[in-house]
Amino acid sequence: MMNHFELQTLLLCVTTCFCIYHTKESHVFPVTFLNVSKNSTLQRLLVEWDVSDSAHESEQEMVFEIQVSQTEEKNVVWTEYYNTTLSKLNKPLFWSWDSELPLECASHSVRIRSKVAEVWSPWSSWKTVLGLDTSDDNEPLIFPEDKVVQEGSNFTFCCIGGKNQKVKTIIIDTSYPVSTPKRTIVRTINKVTLGAAGGQAIACTFAGPGYKNHIGTLLHVGRLPDEPKNIFCETRDMKTAKCTWKSGNNIYISGRYFAQYKLFDWFSQKTLCFEIQASRSKEWCVCSWVIHQQMTYNFTLTAENKLGKKSVNFSFDVAHRVYPFQPSDLWEEYVSASEVKLYWTMEPREKAIDLICQIENNRPDEKVEWYNSSVVHSNTYANIMISGLQPYTIHKFRIRCGAAKHFWKWSEWSKNLTITTKEAAPSGKLDLWRDITPVVGGRNVTLFWKQLPGFQANGRNISYEITWENLEEVTEPEHISISAPHNSTRICIGYHSYRISITAKNHVNSSSPSEIIISGATDNDAEEKISATDKEERVEGTDHGIWIHWQPKDTFDGYIVDWCNFPNSQPCDLQWKRSGFNTSRVLIKAVAFVPGVRYHFRVFGSVANKASLLEKKIGYSKELPPSDPDVKIIGLIPYSVSLAWDSYRTDETQPGFIKGYNIYVKSLQGCNFKGSTKYMAPDGLVWCKYTIKNPEEKRFTVEHLVPNTAYQLAVKAFTGGGETPITQTMNTHALDDRNMRYLPLVLGIIPFVLITAICFWKQKWLKDYCSQIPSPDTKVLSFDGFKVASETELKVSDCIPDAVTLESKSEAKKLNLWSQRTTQEERKTAVTDSSWLSLVPNEDRDFTCSSSDSEAGFWHLKNPVYLSSAAHDCLPYQNLHMLHTSEPQPLPLLYQPQHDIEIMNKDTVVPQREAMSGDTSLIYISQMEVPCSGTRLNDLYCSTEPGECLGYNRNSDLVTSVSDGDLEQYSPISTGTTGTLLLD
């Protein structure tokens, strides 16, 4: 049985629990009102609800749980908690939800419950917004239509068939069949990408009755607009201002939805520009407005498109952003040949702006000079004085201006003003050089000149005045004038020293003169030389040019190097380069240098305008491989072959300095020749190589050959540029050494055979022609009253005459056998130029003289008695038969013995003309002197009769005629021809 204390405790607990339950029930505020609608444009569910008034009066802090479901099965697709504090104004609560699935694709339902002090109220009933999937419309539908989505997001769409239709296929780029056909099909495309301009097409096809079985839409994928960049604002006249910015790349979506810009000023709370639309044809956007009195602005520029917007803030001070107008109306005022004053106008004229201007001077040499003006006002005429201009030169001026205070940027350039300054005397000097050529009686000096750096003609019609004067004799200076553009001329001077000067001259005046001095020379030393050998030193070219070195001397104040750009042409385009006294080399760089051409350089030392030749150099800018020698085989034996290329030239006709020759040999036995090295050709063939390092050694013998073996030979000349590839070879075959066994025997037999043949030939000749050689008598012919030593007078009957002829006066005149006595010099000429005298029978059986041995039917009669090889010199008057020339000569005087006239007594000698006074006369011609040692013995005929015909007496009775038989007995050659008998 329960006692009193236990009963009180139980009652207390029951009372406490009842109070707690009653308290909880009194703090739950369920939803009393709920309304759901939709915004199809925004694809948004709009939810409105409310609770009891007591909750508003107590201003409860409440939490609402909102659930959204789709389809009839009430699948919850979204849950969200909404926190709020209720107001005593009893205003209903609002909430919206953006659906990824188009609201038309399915029915959407919403329910809400509240929570106070961790106690949830019961759920409200579902409030549903019906989709079109439940409609009785027979037309198929697709949602959303022309949707704009951001790149990378997910896109959900649906296809709804008409009444009694089911979706058959879905087309997204390609066709996708539906596995379980339904009236409504929902699909999601994950992470959409940018498509082609105009949007991406999506379509569905349907099966079932209806007047339309397909439907489609476009999907537009884009990006948020770019933030405006490169924003700047400026004013040109302090009355209007404008802001410019770069719109960026993302200015449109699928080529259809363009971004728009808005410029808002926070100071004035005004939107200065609104709905400025970007354009694909314009990269920059511009907003302009009137300034009025406001000089500073604080802007927000916003770019917005269908997917969102971006903004940028900046400030603008009008006074700090002045962009002046372009200067105009330029004109000039000439002051002097080197000074000009420029004028121009500025805008605006109504309001003065302080400006500074910059003047640009474009010179003809493409150099640019700048001049800055002082502060000028935009409403006045500005001017500036330009000094230091080049006389008689075209100058192009243009001007731009900027704000003097708070300079921001220059204005545009004005139009060019082109002027030509006035003429002045030429400034600077000419560089004068010369080339000396010795001629008969003096020297030709070819003068060359060019403008030194800093030279200016300063005028038109330039001419060059050249003057030269003799420094050793007092003479009037000579001068010539050469018009431009000529830069060379030639003058002739003597062997004295000369001063030559040149000046440039125009209409105003002349430049300062440039001088050179030509040293004196002798007739035998008019040419400039280094030494007797005049040797040229070789130099090598590099990629940068040809370095010329020389040995400097303290006596010179400078050096000159000259050369010809085209050494094989005339004129050769002589060039020269000067260097200072402290230099010993110079780099010659010439565009005209051609590889493979030999260039000649001369180095001169100069002091007091007088140049002296120091050294000569030759070289190539680049050596090339030379041509191949023309090789001949000059000797071939079983064990060696000899090669020669003697005609190969090593002079400047070659494209490089010939350094030597490489001889290549190849056979099937490989490279085993002593003294050779192996050489692998680019084509892979192996050759034996010999090298000759002396370019003048043009013969070589390849030894140690194998007899009866074939060989290939090649000879290549090489220079600093190498040699040409082996493309042409000579084929040879070493002789068989078996043939060499008989060589000693052959060499022994050949001399014996030659001696035998010579003896046999000599024996026959002696027998035929010289079987009986008479011995001449030592007596000589004597004349009455005129004898020399032991000479005795010989009678005609004692011997047979040397020559017998029968001729009439007319024949003598015809043959011109006699002539008046000539001088000793004329006789010498006659003897020297005479031909062998021949006897030629004519039709009348008379004999005429002929100077040619080639005519038929002639013969010579010579007496070898007087033709010994005694060592006597040829005297001025020699036997005519000893001098034989190939050219016909006039018939000379008949031979007369040495001292023929001098040894005759004037009283006893009958003049020649008297001796020829008869109708016929017998002329005897004797030969007294020993012939020249050069007479050939085998050309002579031997006499078979002894006799001592050493002279003759004009008073002797001679035979006046002779028959053919008589002639035959004195000649070893039988003939029936009658003629003159001459014994030389």
pLDDT tens digit string along 749-768?
888 788 888 887 776 665 66
pLDDT at 741 (0 to 100): 58
Burial class of 404 by CB neighbour count within 10 A (0 to 12, 13 to 18, 19+)? middle
Residue at 711 is within a domain: yes
Whether 610 and 643 share a structural domain: no
Low-confidence winner among 493-497, 526-530, 741-745, 881-885 (lowest mean pLDDT)? 881-885
Residue at 376 is within a domain: yes
Say whether pLDDT at 808 is over 90. no
Pair of tokens at residue 823: 């001088």
- Residue 597: closest CA among 644, 558, 565: 565
Between 29 and 380, residue with greater pLDDT: 29
Name residue, tokens 């000094």. 387
Say whether pLDDT at 12 is over 60. yes
Whether 640 and 735 share a structural domain: yes
Whether 415 and 435 share a structural domain: no
What is the percent of the chain where pLDDT is above 90?
Answer: 41
pLDDT at 973 (0 to 100): 37
- Residue 93: closest CA among 49, 58, 127: 49
Whether 536 and 616 share a structural domain: yes
Contact 140, 181 (CB under 8 A): no
DSSP per-residue codes, 35-51:
EEEEETTTTEEEEEEE-
For the segment 935-954, the average pLDDT, to the nearest whole number, is: 38
Whether 636 and 724 share a structural domain: yes
Element (H, E) at 15: helix 4-26
Say whether pLDDT at 693 is over 90. yes
Q: CA-CA distance, 941 to 947, in Å (whole number)? A: 15
Q: What is the CATH number of the domain that holds 188?
A: 2.60.40.10
For the segment 697-717, the average pLDDT, to the nearest whole number, is: 92
pLDDT at 264 (0 to 100): 94
Residue at 806 is within a domain: no
- Place 814 in a pLDDT band, splitting at 50, 70 and 90: very low
Task: Indicate the Cα dihedral angle 762, 768, 769, 774, nearest 10°.
Answer: 110
Say whether pLDDT at 801 is over 80. no
Residue at 391 is within a domain: yes
Residue at 251 is within a domain: yes
pLDDT at 628 (0 to 100): 93
Q: CA-CA distance, 263 to 275, in Å (whole number)? A: 9
Low-confidence winner among 186-200, 467-481, 568-582, 926-940 (lowest mean pLDDT)? 926-940
Say whether pLDDT at 833 is over 60. no
pLDDT at 50 (0 to 100): 93
Residue at 917 is within a domain: no
For the segment 43-52, the average pLDDT, to the nearest whole number, is: 92
Q: Tell me, what amino acid is at 636?
A: L
Say whether pLDDT at 412 is over 90. yes
Pair of tokens at residue 102: 């188009």
Say whether pLDDT at 817 is over 60. no
Contact 455, 427 (CB under 8 A): yes
Burial class of 977 by CB neighbour count within 10 A (0 to 12, 13 to 18, 19+)? middle
pLDDT at 262 (0 to 100): 92
DSSP per-residue codes, 667-686:
-TT-S--TT-EEEE-TTS-E
Strand partners, 78: 68
Element (H, E) at 644: strand 640-644
pLDDT at 943 (0 to 100): 38
Say whether pLDDT at 407 is over 80. yes
Q: CA-CA distance, 973 to 153, in Å (whole number)? A: 139
User: How do residues 868-897 score in pLDDT, each as one tens digit?
Assistant: 333 333 333 333 333 333 444 443 433 344
Q: Helix (H, G, I), strand (E, B), or coil: what is residue 130? A: coil
- Place 697 in a pLDDT band, splitting at 50, 70 and 90: very high
For the segment 369-379, the average pLDDT, to the nearest whole number, is: 89
- Place 17 in a pLDDT band, splitting at 50, 70 and 90: low
pLDDT at 248 (0 to 100): 76
For the segment 606-635, the average pLDDT, to the nearest whole number, is: 94
Whether 307 and 335 share a structural domain: no
For the segment 772-795, the average pLDDT, to the nearest whole number, is: 47
pLDDT at 834 (0 to 100): 36
Task: Indicate the Cα dihedral angle 90, 92, 93, 95, nearest 10°.
Answer: -160
Residues contacting 417, CB < 8 A, separation 6+: 330, 331, 332, 342, 396, 397, 398
Residues contacting 839, CB < 8 A, separation 6+: 847, 848, 849, 850, 858, 859, 860, 861, 979, 980, 982
Residue at 89 is within a domain: yes
Q: CA-CA distance, 537 to 616, in Å (whole number)? A: 6
pLDDT at 306 (0 to 100): 85
For 783-813, b/e burial (b = at least 16 CB within 10 A) is beeeeeeebebbeeeebbbbbbbbbeeebbe
Say whether pLDDT at 850 is over 50. no
928: how many CB neighbours lie within 10 A of its CB?
19
Name residue, tokens 């704000």. 403
Say whether pLDDT at 927 is over 70. no
212: how many CB neighbours lie within 10 A of its CB?
12
For the segment 818-828, the average pLDDT, to the nearest whole number, is: 40
- Structural domain range at position 66: 33-129
Burial class of 242 by CB neighbour count within 10 A (0 to 12, 13 to 18, 19+)? middle
Whether 236 and 281 share a structural domain: yes
Contact 117, 154 (CB under 8 A): no
For the segment 34-39, the average pLDDT, to the nearest whole number, is: 93
Rounded (5°) CA angle 637-641-642: 120
pLDDT at 745 (0 to 100): 67
Residue at 969 is within a domain: no
Burial class of 848 by CB neighbour count within 10 A (0 to 12, 13 to 18, 19+)? middle
For the segment 468-484, the average pLDDT, to the nearest whole number, is: 93
Between 431 and 174, residue with greater pLDDT: 431
Domain boundary among 222, 237, 253: 222
pLDDT at 739 (0 to 100): 58
Domain count for the chain, please give it: 7
What is the percent of the chain where pLDDT is above 70?
Answer: 71
Whether 122 and 164 share a structural domain: no
- Residue 660: closest CA among 712, 722, 598, 595: 722
Average model confidence (pLDDT) across the chain: 77
For the segment 307-312, the average pLDDT, to the nearest whole number, is: 90
For residue 134, what is the DSSP state?
Answer: G
Rounded (5°) CA angle 658-661-666: 155
Phi and psi dihedrals of 826, rounded to 5?
Answer: -65, -40
Handedness of CA 124, 130, 131, 134 (dihedral sign): positive
- Place 787 in a pLDDT band, splitting at 50, 70 and 90: very low
User: How do residues 559-609 score in pLDDT, each as one tens digit?
Assistant: 999 999 999 888 899 999 999 999 999 999 988 899 999 999 999 999 999
Between 656 and 911, residue with greater pLDDT: 656
Whether 518 and 537 share a structural domain: no
In angstroms, the Cα distances linking 448 to 456, 462, 557, 623, 699 are 18, 16, 21, 30, 47
Between 255 and 162, residue with greater pLDDT: 162
Whether 513 and 588 share a structural domain: no
Q: Tell me, what amino acid is at 571?
A: P
Domain boundary among 95, 129, 163: 129
Domain boundary among 277, 295, 320: 320
For the segment 314-332, the average pLDDT, to the nearest whole number, is: 93
Task: Indicate the Cα dihedral angle 842, 848, 850, 854, nearest 10°.
Answer: 30
- Place 977 in a pLDDT band, splitting at 50, 70 and 90: very low
Pairing of the two strands 537-540 and 610-620: parallel
- Residue 230: closest CA among 212, 244, 241, 242: 244
What's the gap between Cα 162 and its chain centre? 81
Contact 419, 394 (CB under 8 A): yes
- Place 89 in a pLDDT band, splitting at 50, 70 and 90: confident
Q: CA-CA distance, 598 to 939, in Å (whole number)? A: 59
Strand order in the sheet with 430-439: 430-439, 442-451, 488-493
Between 147 and 482, residue with greater pLDDT: 482
pLDDT at 22 (0 to 100): 44
Whether 441 and 518 share a structural domain: yes
Q: Helix (H, G, I), strand (E, B), or coil: what is residue 116? A: strand
Whether 701 and 668 share a structural domain: yes
